[in-house]
């Protein structure tokens, strides 16, 4: 018989079916459709001990006195009212390690796409069915020997740095947290101030959580510092970049191009002016949810919840800024 009841917030569908199928035998999953009203969601969650979600209102939690932990399936927790939830005595744990490999690989793919001008080659060859070749048709660069700046050397940033070693890049990074010297040596990275990173990098890639401090951290001032032939890659959270400022920088060719897996508003409006530019690659926030990373996220979520409910200390707990 199940000994723990866990609410999983998701519309019915393949993702929900997967999470239910992966639940341990002693866990009963309560599927909560986020489209339901707060009262309807609360009624389903009234006696659950844990929740798997990246978004739930405090009003719902007030009606669920048994909840001990909210576990996310991704690194992000910016849609949770962290201060209010922690004040209620409920723990919050994220899942950053699960998708670190997937996001880092997507980041490298963005870098290669931008450097190799692959999106233009695809469009002209596959969509327009024209066979154009030669340096006069495409501006193609290598990543090797370039300076890559990683903003945020957390679990994902470290995975990006690890993969860049194979490209023989000069990799620099900025982080508010000190990284041990032995880790810097292992990853072949060098710490610098953010302004220096922006000025020196051929590619700037962002891997920070969305917090009060990081919201809009890349805006007009920062983009003005970048090289005119530099690329910006954002596979963390859309609001980390001031989208209007980025549009200005791209349309005025203050930077060469951008690769974005995330935008300020998602789903983004169909009239987003970034769609009108020919120097931006956009993917629909798909860097993280791969087959392997989804499996890792589910495994960790159930493991971490079980650990807490058995009286041990949960891992990957989130604390206020």
Would you name the residues annotated as active-site residues?
Answer: 237, 266, 285
The answer to whether residues 52 and 8 touch, using CB atoms and an 8 Å cutoff, is yes
In sequence order, what DSSP letters do the residues of 8-37 get, joined into one string? EE--SSHHHHHHHHHS-TTEEEEEE-TTS-
234 - beta bridge partners?
206, 260
Q: How many residues does the chain have?
A: 321
Helix H segments across the chain? 14-22, 38-45, 58-62, 82-87, 100-115, 118-122, 155-164, 181-187, 194-200, 220-225, 243-251, 291-309
What torsion, rounded to 10 degrees, do the Cα atoms 142, 148, 154, 158 define? 50
Nearest to 158 by CA among 80, 35, 249, 75: 75
Nearest to 207 by CA among 220, 193, 222, 218: 218
d(Cα 282, Cα 52) in Å, to the nearest integer?
28
d(Cα 198, Cα 148) in Å, to the nearest integer?
10
d(Cα 35, Cα 41) in Å, to the nearest integer?
9
d(Cα 93, Cα 75) in Å, to the nearest integer?
9
Classify residue 147 by burial, with Cβ atoms within 10 Å: 0-12, 13-18, 19+.
middle
* Residues sharing a CB contact under 8 Å with residue 82, sequence separation 6 or more, in sequence order: 92, 318, 320
In sequence order, what DSSP letters do the residues of 202-219 get, joined into one string? SEEEE-----TTTTT-BS
């Amino acid at each position: 018989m199940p000994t723990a009841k866990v609410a999983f917030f998701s519309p019915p569908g393949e993702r929900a079916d997967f999470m239910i199928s992966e639940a341990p035998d002693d866990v009963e999953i309560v599927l909560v459709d986020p489209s339901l009203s707060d009262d309807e969601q609360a009624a389903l969650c009234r006696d659950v001990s844990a929740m798997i979600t990246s978004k739930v209102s405090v009003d719902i939690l007030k009606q669920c006195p048994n909840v001990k932990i909210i576990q996310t399936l991704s690194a992000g927790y910016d849609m949770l009212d962290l201060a209010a939830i922690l004040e209620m005595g409920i723990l919050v744990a994220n899942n950053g390690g699960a998708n670190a490999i997937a996001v880092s690989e997507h980041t490298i793919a963005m870098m290669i796409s931008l450097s190799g001008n692959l999106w233009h080659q695809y469009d002209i060859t596959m969509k327009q069915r024209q066979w154009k070749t030669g340096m006069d048709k495409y501006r193609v660069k290598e990543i090797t020997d370039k300076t890559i700046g990683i903003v945020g050397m957390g679990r994902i940033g470290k995975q990006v740095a690890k993969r860049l070693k194979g490209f023989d890049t000069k990799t620099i990074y900025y982080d508010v947290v000190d990284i041990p010297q032995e880790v810097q040596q292992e990853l072949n990275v060098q710490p610098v101030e953010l302004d220096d990173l922006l000025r020196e990098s051929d590619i700037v890639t962002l891997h920070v959580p969305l917090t009060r401090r990081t919201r809009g951290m890349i805006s007009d001032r920062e983009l003005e510092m970048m090289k005119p032939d530099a690329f910006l890659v954002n596979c963390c959270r859309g609001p980390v970049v001031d989208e209007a400022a980025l549009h200005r920088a791209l349309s005025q060719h203050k930077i060469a191009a951008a690769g974005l897996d995330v935008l300020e508003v998602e789903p983004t409006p169909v009239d987003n002016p970034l769609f009108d530019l020919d120097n931006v690659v956009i993917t629909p926030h798909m860097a993280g949810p791969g087959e392997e990373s989804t499996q890792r996220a589910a495994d960790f979520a159930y493991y971490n919840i079980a650990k807490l409910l058995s009286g041990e200390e949960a891992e990957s707990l989130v604390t206020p800024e």
